[in-house]
Structure 1
Amino acid sequence: MRKEIIINSSGSERRIAILEDGRTAELFVETSGKDRNVGDIYLGKVAKVMPGIRAAFIDIGLEQDAFLHFSDIGSVEFYNAIFDEEEEKEGTSDKAHSESSGQNEHIENGDDTFFDFVGHKNLNDSHQNNRGEHAQVNLKKGQDILVQVIKEPVGKKGVRVRTGISLPGRYLVLIPFDGKVGVSRKLGNFRERRRLRRIVRAMLPPGFGAIIRTAAEGKTEAVLRQDLDGLVRTWKEIEKSVKTEKAPALIYKDLNTTSSVIRDLFQDTVQRVVVDDKKLYKEIRAYIQWVSADMLDRIELYRGDEPIFDKFGIEKDIHDLMSKKIRLKSGGYIIIERTEAMTVIDVNSGRYAAKKEQELNSLRTNLEAAREICRQLRLRDIGGLIVVDFIDMQDEKNDKKIYDEVKKEIQKDRAKITVLPLTEFSLMQITRQRVRQSVQLSFSEQCPMCGGSGLIQSKLFIFNQIDRWLRRFRRESKERRLELRVNPIIADFLSKGLISKILKLQFKYCVRIKLIADQTVSADEFRFYSKKQNKEVTDQYK
């Protein structure tokens, strides 16, 4: 598979696309005013503890309190899914953990006060000792706590955090308070895994753990030490900041989206990185020169006249992202609908097939749809619960083929995914790890007209509501002068015609109404103001 990273930079926006065999597989968008939160470390203050849902809300200085589930206290497991790394479960790892567990209190430039202040050591021990049971969590309102963001805010939900801190580098992930040394599951060579574990364990400061990333394969001890030293220096700065800052405060800001993509995804499997901005091109080259000079020749500056995303066919994919309907080559299509609870995907054949070929055509369309759905989940970065309604098929063996095809395609996805076989109604349930807001939502805003529902009340329905309001108003009030504010669309509907609807209402109820078109009023509401009282009276007569 040929992989490329294409970066488009403008004054207010950076877009990064990952191409696989010439097709857009992943898309990242970085806009001014919308900072990336994942990986940031905060000194927070416990705002609320809710044992009923086994969670706490942490004030970290953002608009909404962060969500801390009790299972994320003292845990770095979530990190593995984000960066596609896994703790290697071998006897040597357990031995290393037991050997270093007594050294956790003696981190260089650290002390017991720092541990007690953060509350991490005791919580982590509790978590480790209660793997099969609910850990005893001792959080109190007003307590200071060090947390790291693991999920971006989605909708009305704040960020999700954990207390297990991890600092990612190019080749290693440094894990304070944990003596384990893990290796990426993508490193399949046993000898190389053992070599890397031996090198990293020997150079780690007491009380620190690490995960060896895929990019570390074949790297020398000097290169790994350079990466580790930088991470340890960063951690020392975090320690100093924690002791001087007052909660809530941002202690450490992780790399921006562009830098993190280069750090995490620019590996040996990537043939080239193409950038259309000279300044950014120099920054990327400087970073790669420092961490992996042998890959410098893979970085290219795009000099063409045609926009870079047009040149590589990415702009069309972005345009399709905004559409609910995706057409398939077979003539069928899929519809992607997002709701508050889940994302629903419907597969349609699109063409009539003869009865004797219906099963075969349905299978072909479903297989093509399965591949495209897996691609769209990555491209749109759709997370949470996903339900797919495939075309009904009679043969159960064909259902198994669809399930196997989806399982094969999701192997390309870095996110953690669970897939269940098709039900008797041809429904497939999928859960996909959500780390950040979907790409589609980052390109869009909630509709001011419908509030995101996709529907607004009809003009005639609004007119009838106004009619009923005036009937109640005239029965209870002796006032005769009103001001009516409505959306311009409704104002146009009410004022059309020689004898307009608003004029008919004035004659019907013997009241003078001044009609005002107001852009701030949504299309499914109206506001009445009393001229005599000089205030809004809508709610009084509803």
Structure 2
Amino acid sequence: MKKEIIISTSTTQNRVAITEDGNLVDFFVDHPEKQRMVGNIYLGKVARVLPGIRAAFIDIGLKHDAFLHFSDIGDRTEALQGIFDDDDLDTDENDNGEEKPKHEKKEKTFVRLHKGQEILVQILKEPVKDKGVRVTSSISIPGRFCVLLPMDDKIGVSKKITDIRERKRLRRIARGILPDNCGLIIRTAAKDQDEEALSADLKYLVKIWKDIEEEAKKQSPPALLYKDLSTTISVIRDLFTADVSKVFVDSKKLWKEIRNYVQFVQPSLLDRIELYKGEEPIFSTFKIDEQIKILMGRRIPLPSGGHIVIEHTEAMTVIDVNSGRYAAKKEQELNSLKTDLEAAREIVRQLRLRDIGGLIVVDFIDLEDEKNRKKIYDELKKEFRKDRAKTALLPMTEFGLMQITRQRVRENIVQSMTEPCPYCNGTGLLTKTSSVIHEIEKWLQRYRLDGKNKSLILQVHPITAEKMREGFISPLTKIQLKYFIRLKIKEDEKMNPQMFKIYSKKTGEDLTEEFA
């Protein structure tokens, strides 16, 4: 399998595409309006503690206070608080100092926070719509091969490294290079790396942590102590591994930046970074643009002629699977199974591409045979193994529904690249012109009771104005005769087609809200 990373730059955005045999499998957008925040470390101050929902809100200087759930307050928090010589936070620990199972931690950890308390936190999830960021007090600093866990003593190895001998070798190296009061997680990229490479990466991370400690002592909350790498460089750090054959970049400046970073972390991969010099846009050359158009749409075709439709709601993402060509009754189950299997593979691909998180409900084509339903479930599980985000799914119900949850870290790609239409507010629906005229008439009905001016100016979109003037006896004429009011229509192309404004012709005063 040929795996490549293609990076397209412009004055406002960097776009990173990861392809496997030419097929887009991951897509990232780095732009100034939505700068990457996950991994940033802040010195915050407790704004509110709400034991009822087992959470606290932390002021870190953003628009909304950060959300800190008690389950995200780890055993290391008390040690981290030592930076400020603050003993106000108590956590329940095992007598022998061992880490508790996750399910026990959530139930038994006792947290005591108070308003105004200083606390070190790190962003876990970026803000989504009106929700603020989610943070944790268990600080971790990721590098190329390792993740440093300050004030910890754990050593972990990525589950994706399955070779037992390699896991033991990496653990032995970690124990030999690990400084006091630090834990370490060995990343997948560390496979087959020597002690020198791991040690250099660790020294770099320890230096970052020492700088954070110094900054924390100097600053007053709220303050940003550490900013993680940009989206583009973090993709290189996390995903540019030995199985990637090439990295293509169309910007000389970014090409140099990536080379400098790779020269520092893994020089052996340096010759795989190539500056794209073609005249045609890089995404057009690699046929990425046409795949992005499908990515941004709600309807995605399947090879056998069927398609899936993806809809986003406030609570969940809903995916509908539709069959294509008509199949004879005796082949219906077989055709439905074929379409559902294609849909299962495409759904996982789309969830990864679009970075869709939270609750996802999929309406598959009904299957009568229980064995066939199990095949769909198994296919999804197999495909989700390629996904870096944590996922969980339930078996298909008799109605053909399947429930999936996927880890949400940031806004999905569609949300980050688009914004709600100012006319329909993202619903995709506009009020009919006849309904707008109806609202204008009801306004005039209320105005007639107390209004004094008989000459008014009606400001509307040209579409509404045209509708009001059409016909032998137009709606405008009928309204004027009915309410004994003279209306002068003023067209405004910039106005929302669903809105109208009414002014006094004599004074120019806006009367719209007064009689709404």
Q: Match of 2:86?
A: 116
SS at match of 1:331: coil
Q: 1:413 to 1:504 in 2, by over 3 A?
A: same
| Corresponding letter in the other structure for 1:28 | F
Q: Distance in 2 between matches of 1:137 and 1:495?
A: 68
Match of 1:452 among 423, 426, 430: 426
Verify: 1:142 aligned to 2:135, yes or no: no
Partner deviation per Cα, 1:497-530 (whole Å, 9 max, x = no partner) = 5754334322221123343334665332333344
Q: Distance in 1 between matches of 2:238 and 2:85?
A: 30
SS at match of 1:36: coil
Q: Distance in 2 between matches of 1:409 and 1:479?
A: 69
Report the alpha carbon displacement of residue 230 of structure 1 after superposing the two structures with TM. Answer: 0.9
1:484/1:528 contact within 8 Å kept: yes
Q: Match of 1:269?
A: 243
- Comparing 168-177 and 294-303, the one that deviates more: 294-303
Q: Distance in 2 between matches of 1:535 and 1:48?
A: 45
- What are structure 2's unaligned runs of at least 5 residues? none
Partner deviation per Cα, 1:23-77 (whole Å, 9 max, x = no partner) = 000100011332111111111222222222222222211122211111111279x
Q: Distance in 1 between matches of 2:152 and 2:493?
A: 57
2:46/2:117 contact within 8 Å kept: yes
Q: Match of 1:43?
A: 43
Q: Match of 2:187?
A: 213
Identity of aligned residues (%): 56
Match of 2:335 among 329, 353, 361: 361
Alignment of 1:187-198 (within 5 A): 187-198=161-172
Q: Match of 1:182?
A: 156
Partner deviation per Cα, 1:402-434 (whole Å, 9 max, x = no partner) = 111111111111110111111010001111111
Alignment of 1:90-129 (within 5 A): 112-114=82-84, 116=86, 122-123=90-91, 125=93
Q: 1:318 to 1:394 in 2, by over 3 A?
A: same
Q: 1:321 to 1:75 in 2, by over 3 A?
A: farther
Match of 2:125 among 145, 151, 157: 151
2:306/2:339 contact within 8 Å kept: yes
Q: 1:386 to 1:512 in 2, by over 3 A?
A: same
Q: 1:480 to 1:328 in 2, by over 3 A?
A: same
2:70/2:106 contact within 8 Å kept: no
Q: 1:522 to 1:65 in 2, by over 3 A?
A: farther
Report the alpha carbon displacement of residue 336 of structure 1 after superposing the two structures with TM. Answer: 0.6
CA RMSD of aligned residues (A): 2.4
Q: Match of 1:342?
A: 316
Q: Match of 1:522?
A: 496
Report the alpha carbon displacement of residue 199 of structure 1 after superposing the two structures with TM. Answer: 2.0
| Corresponding letter in the other structure for 1:378 | R
How many residues end up aligned between the 2 structures?
A: 510
TM-score (structure 2 length as normaliser): 0.93
1:73/1:124 contact within 8 Å kept: no
Alignment of 1:340-419 (within 5 A): 340-419=314-393
TM-score (structure 1 length as normaliser): 0.89
| Corresponding letter in the other structure for 2:56 | A
Q: Match of 1:31?
A: 31
Q: 1:531 to 1:240 in 2, by over 3 A?
A: farther
Q: Distance in 2 between matches of 1:466 and 1:362?
A: 51
Q: 1:488 to 1:131 in 2, by over 3 A?
A: same
Q: Match of 1:332?
A: 306
- What are structure 1's unaligned runs of at least 5 residues? 77-100
Q: Distance in 1 between matches of 2:21 and 2:301?
A: 20
Q: Match of 1:284?
A: 258
Report the alpha carbon displacement of residue 438 of structure 1 after superposing the two structures with TM. Answer: 0.7
- Comparing 133-142 and 257-266, the one that deviates more: 133-142
Q: 1:512 to 1:75 in 2, by over 3 A?
A: farther
Verify: 1:429 aligned to 2:403, yes or no: yes
Verify: 1:243 aligned to 2:213, yes or no: no
Q: Match of 1:65?
A: 65
Q: Distance in 2 between matches of 1:113 and 1:172?
A: 24
| Corresponding letter in the other structure for 1:433 | Q
Q: Match of 1:511?
A: 485
Q: Distance in 2 between matches of 1:522 and 1:357?
A: 51
Q: Distance in 2 between matches of 1:160 and 1:112?
A: 23
| Corresponding letter in the other structure for 1:512 | R
Match of 1:468 among 431, 442, 448: 442
Q: Match of 1:479?
A: 453
Q: Distance in 1 between matches of 2:490 and 2:50?
A: 48
Verify: 1:442 aligned to 2:416, yes or no: yes
1:75/1:163 contact within 8 Å kept: no
Q: Match of 2:134?
A: 160
SS at match of 2:334: helix
Q: Distance in 2 between matches of 1:221 and 1:141?
A: 45
Q: Distance in 1 between matches of 2:161 and 2:83?
A: 39
| Greater RCO, CA 8 A, separation 6+ | 1
Q: Distance in 1 between matches of 2:255 and 2:384?
A: 32
Q: Distance in 2 between matches of 1:422 and 1:132?
A: 29
Q: Distance in 2 between matches of 1:345 and 1:111?
A: 45
| Corresponding letter in the other structure for 1:328 | L
Q: 1:313 to 1:206 in 2, by over 3 A?
A: same
Q: Distance in 1 between matches of 2:505 and 2:92?
A: 65
SS at match of 1:33: helix
